[in-house]
Structure 1
Amino acid sequence: MDRNRGGRRLQGVGRPLLLVLFLASLLSQAAVHAESRDRLRVFVSIPPQKYFVERIGRKNVRVSVMVRPGANPATYEPSPSQMASLSRARVYFATGVPFEKTWLSRFAKTAPRLRIVHTDRDIKKLPMRSHRHEADRDGKSARRESAFDPHVWLSPPLVLLQARVVLEGLTSADPARSAIYEQGYREFVREIVDLDLELRRLFRDRGRAARFISFHPAWGYFARAYGLEQVAVELEGKEPKPAELAKLIRYARKAGMRAVFVQPQFPRRSAEVLAREIGGKIMTADPLAADWAANLREVARKLSDALR
Structure 2
Amino acid sequence: MHKWLHVTAVALLLSAALLVGCDQGATPESTGKLNITVSIVPQKYFVERVGGEYVDVNVMVLPGASPATYEPRPEQLQDLSDADAYMRIKVPFENAWMDRIASANPDMLIVDTTEGIERVPMEVHHRHGEKEHEPENPDPHIWLSPELVKVQSQTIYEALVELDPVHQGAYEANLDGFIADIDVLETDIRETLEGVESRRFIVFHPAWGYFARDFGLEMIPIEIGGQEPSAAEMAELITEAQRERIKVIFAQPEFSTRDAETIASEIGGEVLLISPLAPEWLDNLRNVADTFAEVFGQ
CA contact (8 A) 1:132 1:248 kept: no
Determine helix, strand or coil for the equivalent of 1:199.
helix
Q: CA deviation at 1:132?
A: 4.2
Match of 2:185 in 1: 195
Aligned-partner Cα distance in 2 for 1:112–1:151: 28
Amino acid at match of 1:107: I
Once the two structures are TM-superposed, the CA of residue 38 in structure 1 deviates from its matched residue by 2.6
Given residue 102 of structure 1, which amino acid in structure 2 is its aligned partner? Answer: A
Q: CA deviation at 1:30?
A: 8.2
Secondary structure of the residue aligned to 1:129 is strand
Aligned match of 2:233: 244
Q: Does structure 2 conserve the Cα–Cα contact (< 8 Å) formed by 1:130 and 1:217?
A: no
Q: Could you tell me which residue of structure 2 aligns to residue 64 of structure 1?
A: 58
Q: CA deviation at 1:145?
A: 3.5
The structure having more radius of gyration, on CA atoms, is: 1
Q: Out of 148, 151, 159, which is 2:138 matched to?
A: 148
What is the distance in 2 between the residues matched to 1:241 and 1:30?
60
Counterpart-to-counterpart distance in 2, 1:41 and 1:34 = 11
Q: Which amino acid in 2 is paired with 1:125?
A: R
Q: CA offsets, 1:255-288, max 9 Å, x none?
A: 1111111011111111100111111110111001
Aligned-partner Cα distance in 2 for 1:254–1:216: 21
Match runs of 1:58-97 below 5 Å: 58-97=52-91
Residue 61 of structure 1 aligns with an amino acid whose one-letter code is: V
Amino acid at match of 1:246: A
RMSD: 1.8
Tell me the matched-pair count: 274
Q: Pairwise mapping of residues 26-37 of structure 1 onto structure 2 (< 5 A)?
A: 33=26, 37=31
Structure 2 contact 251–272 (Cα < 8 Å) conserved: yes
Partner SS state of residue 278, structure 2: coil
Percentage identity across aligned positions?
Answer: 43
Q: 2:207 aligns with which of 218, 225, 228?
A: 218
Report the counterpart of residue 261 of structure 1 in structure 2.
250
Distance 1:154 1:183 in 2: 23
TM-score, with structure 1 as normaliser: 0.85
* 8 Å CA contact retained: 2:124, 2:225: no
Tell me if structure 1 keeps the 8 A contact 2:144–2:276: yes
Partner of 1:129: 123
2: CA distance, partners of 1:32 / 1:303: 49
